[in-house]
């Protein structure tokens, strides 16, 4: 079973963004040694909670700190960028770390509307939604060929990392992304931790997949939110920090990841102040979380994998304490027996 890591570079209360980035490098080294398949980093902007604003920059550091594990974006939010600039950045990464780089792109802004405006080069008007055209151009650069009549037809051949190229992926949490991935013959990663409704989307993707030079057959990653500890009680305690951030996020409030005791007090106050079938707001239906001992988390992850008929699972974990996050991944690497698999993974 291929198991991978999605790192959002969380910033805990009292921590600097620089410390969060160093924690990402540390966790990547550990994931490499533990036998995880991939290490992807997310893109978020203007957030006091997440430091990963530039996946391509962080990936350069992660590639230098690791030896075997595939590194990639989870993902690049393509509407913010020129396809050529993305292609050049990931061409350089591929040249530096051949056979190890994934370029997963998404359509979401990864931020609030005001910050999205700040990211635009032209702020005089709303940017038009031309994601399909952007994606087609980006894939042309990766493929090494654009149509002869295309105004940028000469550029794919002069990307700086050639002959090495990244492996393109499409990210999604809605039906449209699955349709595009199937039509273009791309491997597909679904964010179950955002929307645990993707099993049917994944099935349709498989049914409608068109083989391409990027993938001969459909390939699905499902990304799930997990926290693992040696006891169920400790795992639930550690997960409280993430639950508090989610509850506030649903209200439009962004905060650094809070300490466990602060989060527990907040959730208790929520429990007393609100009622939804006996559940506080952070437990309301809509987000899936798998929390517990290694055996419990492995069972839960395997159930999600079966639900999606996924080829691979990717785990995202947020805790206040970096050591607890590392420990969660260590416990799961042992439970999934990843160490025995690490040397045998085939590049994809």
What whole-number distance in Å separates Cα of residue 156 and Cα of residue 188?
A: 24
Q: Is 276 exposed, middle or buried (0-12, 13-18, 19+ CB in 10 A)?
A: exposed
Beta bridge partners of residue 2, listed in sequence order: 312
- Say which residue the tokens 């006996």 belong to: 278
Q: List the one residue out of 4, 23, 15 whose CA is nearest residue 65.
A: 23
Reply yes or no: is the peptide bond before residue 75 cis, omega within 30 of 0: yes
What whole-number distance in Å separates Cα of residue 105 and Cα of residue 189?
A: 10
Residue 140: which pLDDT band, with cuts at 50, 70 and 90? very high
Alpha-helix runs per DSSP H in the chain = 17-34, 55-65, 83-96, 113-119, 131-143, 175-184, 199-208, 232-249, 260-273, 294-308, 322-335
Is 80 exceeded by the pLDDT of residue 283? no
All domains in the chain, ordered by first residue = 2-222+307-344 (3.20.20.30)
Residue 125: which pLDDT band, with cuts at 50, 70 and 90? confident
What whole-number distance in Å separates Cα of residue 149 and Cα of residue 62?
A: 38
Q: List the one residue out of 62, 314, 304 whose CA is nearest residue 187.
A: 314
3-state secondary structure of 164: coil
Per the confidence metrics, is the pTM higher than 0.95? no
Report pLDDT for 284. 45
Over residues 255-274, the mean pLDDT reads: 91
* Backbone phi, psi, residue 119, to 5°: -75, -20
pLDDT tens, residue by residue, 172-224: 999 999 999 999 999 999 999 999 999 999 999 999 999 999 999 999 999 99
Over residues 305-329, the mean pLDDT reads: 98
3-state secondary structure of 73: strand
Q: What is the pLDDT of the chain when averaged over all its residues?
A: 92
Residue 286: which pLDDT band, with cuts at 50, 70 and 90? low
What whole-number distance in Å separates Cα of residue 60 and Cα of residue 51?
A: 15
Q: Rg for the chain (alpha carbons), in Å?
A: 20
């Amino acid at each position: 079973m291929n198991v991978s890591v999605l790192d959002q570079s969380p910033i805990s209360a009292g921590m600097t963004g620089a410390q969060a980035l160093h924690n990402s490098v540390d966790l990547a080294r550990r994931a490499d040694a533990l036998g995880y398949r991939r290490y992807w980093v997310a893109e978020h902007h203007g957030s006091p909670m997440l430091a990963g604003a530039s996946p391509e920059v962080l990936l350069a550091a992660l590639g230098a700190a690791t030896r075997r594990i595939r590194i990639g974006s989870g993902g690049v939010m393509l509407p913010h960028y020129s396809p050529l600039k993305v292609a050049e950045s990931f061409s350089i990464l591929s040249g530096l770390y051949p056979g190890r780089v994934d370029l997963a792109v998404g359509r979401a802004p990864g931020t609030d509307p005001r910050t999205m405006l700040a990211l635009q080069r032209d702020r005089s008007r709303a940017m038009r939604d031309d994601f399909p055209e952007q994606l087609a151009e980006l894939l042309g650069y990766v493929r090494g060929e654009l149509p002869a009549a295309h105004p940028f037809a000469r550029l794919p051949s002069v990307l700086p990392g050639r002959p090495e190229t990244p492996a393109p992926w499409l990210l999604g949490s809605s039906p449209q992304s699955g349709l595009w991935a199937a039509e273009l013959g791309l491997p597909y990663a679904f964010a179950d931790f955002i929307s645990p409704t993707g099993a049917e989307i994944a099935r349709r993707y498989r049914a409608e997949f068109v083989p391409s030079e990027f993938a001969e057959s459909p390939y699905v990653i499902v990304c799930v939110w997990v926290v693992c500890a040696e006891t169920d009680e400790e795992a639930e305690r550690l997960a409280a920090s993430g639950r508090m951030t989610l509850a506030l996020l649903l209200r439009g409030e962004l905060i650094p990841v809070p300490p466990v005791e602060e989060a527990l007090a907040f959730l208790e106050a929520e429990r007393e102040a609100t009622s939804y079938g006996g559940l506080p707001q952070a437990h309301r239906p809509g987000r899936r979380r798998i929390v517990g001992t290694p055996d419990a988390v492995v069972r839960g992850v395997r159930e999600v994998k079966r639900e999606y008929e996924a080829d691979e699972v990717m785990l995202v974990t947020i805790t206040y304490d970096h050591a607890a996050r590392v420990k969660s991944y260590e416990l799961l690497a042992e439970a999934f027996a990843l160490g025995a698999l690490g040397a045998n993974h085939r590049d994809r």
